[in-house]
Amino acid sequence: MTHVGFLTLPDRSAFPRIVGAKGSNVARLRAESQADITVSREDNTIVIVGSETAIETAKQAILEMTVSRHRGRRD
């Protein structure tokens, strides 16, 4: 684990979806990306530690989860 990445989201509304029930989604993301992912309880930041590729893979997966949440929304 050679790199540290920070992903700051505009609000925390997507965090429950990212974490999942009992941490299931974040555990899956960790396994798929091979990165250590920490979702902060205090602010809107997610810390991702791993190789550059692992960080980018985790970041893209997290962003896709937040975008898919807003696709079906009507404001």
Which CATH code, of 3.40.50.800, 2.60.300.12, 3.20.20.10, 3.30.1370.10, is assigned to 3-71?
3.30.1370.10
Identify whether the C-beta of residue 67 lies closer than 8 Å to the C-beta of residue 59.
no
pLDDT-derived band at 75, boundaries 50, 70, 90:
very low
Task: Report residue 72 as tokens.
Answer: 């079906």
Task: Report residue 11 as tokens.
Answer: 């609000």
pLDDT at residue 52, rounded to an integer? 96
pLDDT at residue 68, rounded to an integer? 63
